[in-house]
Structure 1
Amino acid sequence: MTHPLPFALRRLALGGLVAAALAAPLATPAAAQSPEEGWAGVQAAGKLRCGAAVFPPYVMRDPVTGDYSGFFADLCREFGEEVLNVPVEFVDTTWDNIVAGVQTGKWDLSLALNRTPTRALAIAFSDPAVPYEITLLYNKDNPKIPADAKGLADLDKEDITIAVVSGTAMDKSVSPLVKNAKVVRLPSSDEARLAVMSRRADVLADPSDTNRLFIAANKDWAVDLAPQPAISKQGIGFGLNAAFPAKDIAALNIFIEEKVATGHVEALVDKAVQEVLAEGQ
């Protein structure tokens, strides 16, 4: 699927931040049930707890109401209500803590996780719901960026600063490859993009589709580079505790498979896109 995945255009265009939303008090999770109980334990507890770190349009949170949206939040809600017949509780977290939270049973599913080998050693994964790759966004008038740049190595210079969202797959994929440039790890996607807008950073490492929409909103200066060789091409799915029963993960995978095959995931992406675009009007 190559559908564009935008983010909060209005907040980006105005240089606003969602830091206030991220700084809001965390929801208090219920007492952890044993992950070995699988979906039966979730049903006995009476709710499906979904760990949610904000990254529009995958996961969005209204800073006023606290309500969650975005297509991964919608998928989680549908799985809880349609398959398990329980309501969904979203537990606010950060990208630095989203893996640890599902490991320690603070929630049952982590939303919108890149399926990486390192993470797979620590937790279990569902099948991917959408694909993913990293591109490098920068100001076309930045004299530090070589005109013939083809990959990350061409930007790995001592006078270049690369912005990433701390704890994300972009951070974990890009940071180990950088030998000379400075990597700035920021707590939210808006802050990372604002760093490039304000020229505090020279390059933003982010998903290709969100970078594409950011360029559409900033055509006068923003461009991106699809690095060769590729930095990362993965799928994005749900994360679960490693002790979760294989048969129960299979049930989640069948749910995802059907939602993808019938075009429902694409429809949820469209819904999230329209929500973000409406914010930009």
Structure 2
Amino acid sequence: MVRLSRFTRQALVCLAAASCVISAPSRADDTSAWQNVKKAGVLRCGAAVAPPYVMRDPKTGEYSGFFSELCREFGQNVLKVKVEFVDTTWDNIVAGLQSDKWDLSLALNDTPEREKAISFSAPATDYNVSLVYNKNNPKIPKGAHTIDEIDKTGVTIAVMSGTAQDKAISGVIKQAQIMRLPGNDETRLALMSKRADLLADANITNMLLTEAHLDWAVAIQPNPPLAQQEVAFGVRKETSAADIAVLNKYVNEQVKSGAVNRLIKTSVQAMLVTNK
């Protein structure tokens, strides 16, 4: 057995302590979401289509919409990295974030259920659910403004599966049939082809539909408001408070400056032009 002198033992203890101090920042960096993004050189934005929040050109694959622009500007102007949009669906947008398929989920409603799985940024805008129908549909009473007036046997409501509006109407509809479809195009087509009597969607999204089809499309704004919530970026649960603060500072600045409202108007106008 080799005996070490007291001096040697003290020196080894000091060396071990120094090693721990040196390695600590490295471990801290590994837990920083934005440090990891900067190392990778790209911010991955998980995007499920929901105009005008998130829009995707089917020909080019390019993303637009005001939440897409917010994510793009955060990556390019704040983190100073490239931005990559990752296609997903509303059914998978939370799970994909949890499994590190992207760094931010776009345009998520901040709900108590989702807060159990992920964290959220400061809100960029508000949200509630409206329902669009054809004013010539005899099943829907003229001037309807409550859920009870449309929750009837024989009425079909189209909604994007896995969305906040899906959860909202599932909690209040008792008699009407709910037609759950994978995307925004499918729900609109169901309404326009008369396979569905109403389309439940975000109030801003449904505004696009009514503005584009003034001759027949009418929106019901339920009173009281249905599923009044905030819309924000989703981040992984383990994201540090410091990283969330960086994102919140950016979002709050965009809201306060009026940039978000300008982006919403631009996105709505772009969508209306596309639908002509």
Give the structure-2-normalised TM-score: 0.85
Corresponding residue number in structure 2 for 1:73: 68
SS at match of 2:106: strand
Residue type of the alignment partner of 2:189: L
Q: After superposition, where does 1:179-258 map in structure 2 within 5 Å?
A: 179-258=174-253
Corresponding residue number in structure 2 for 1:28: none
The more displaced of 100-109 and 133-142 is 133-142
Q: What are the Cα deviations for residues 13-67 of structure 1, in whole angstroms up to 9, with x where unaligned?
A: xxxxxxxxxxxxxxxxxxxxx9832211111222111101111221111222221
Is contact 1:35–1:105 with CA below 8 Å preserved after alignment?
no
**Residue 252 of structure 1: CA displacement?**
0.3
For the residues of structure 2 that align with 1:166 and 1:186, how far apart are their CA atoms?
Answer: 5
**Residue 111 of structure 1: CA displacement?**
0.5
For the residues of structure 2 that align with 1:260 and 1:251, how far apart are their CA atoms?
Answer: 15
Q: After superposition, where does 1:96-111 map in structure 2 within 5 Å?
A: 96-111=91-106
**Residue 71 of structure 1: CA displacement?**
1.2
The more displaced of 91-100 and 265-274 is 265-274
Residue type of the alignment partner of 2:56: R
Q: After superposition, where does 1:120-139 map in structure 2 within 5 Å?
A: 120-139=115-134
For the residues of structure 1 that align with 2:43 and 2:106, how far apart are their CA atoms?
Answer: 12
Corresponding residue number in structure 2 for 1:45: 40
Corresponding residue number in structure 1 for 2:24: none
Q: What are the Cα deviations for residues 98-149 of structure 1, in whole angstroms up to 9, with x where unaligned?
A: 0111111111100111111111111100111111111111122222223463
**Residue 275 of structure 1: CA displacement?**
2.4
Structure ID, larger Rg: 2
Residue 42 to residue 255, structure 1, CA distance change in 2 (3 Å) = same
Give unmatched runs, 5+ long, in structure 2: 1-28
1:270 aligns with 2:265: yes
Is contact 2:211–2:272 with CA below 8 Å preserved after alignment?
no
Is contact 1:114–1:237 with CA below 8 Å preserved after alignment?
yes
Corresponding residue number in structure 1 for 2:141: 146
Is contact 1:35–1:244 with CA below 8 Å preserved after alignment?
no
Give the structure-1-normalised TM-score: 0.83
Q: What are the Cα deviations for residues 197-223 of structure 1, in whole angstroms up to 9, with x where unaligned?
A: 111111111122332332232223221
For the residues of structure 1 that align with 2:182 and 2:30, how far apart are their CA atoms?
Answer: 29
SS at match of 1:177: coil
SS at match of 1:219: coil
Residue 274 to residue 111, structure 1, CA distance change in 2 (3 Å) = same
The more displaced of 113-122 and 214-223 is 214-223
Corresponding residue number in structure 2 for 1:172: 167
For the residues of structure 1 that align with 2:30 and 2:198, how far apart are their CA atoms?
Answer: 40
Aligned length: 248
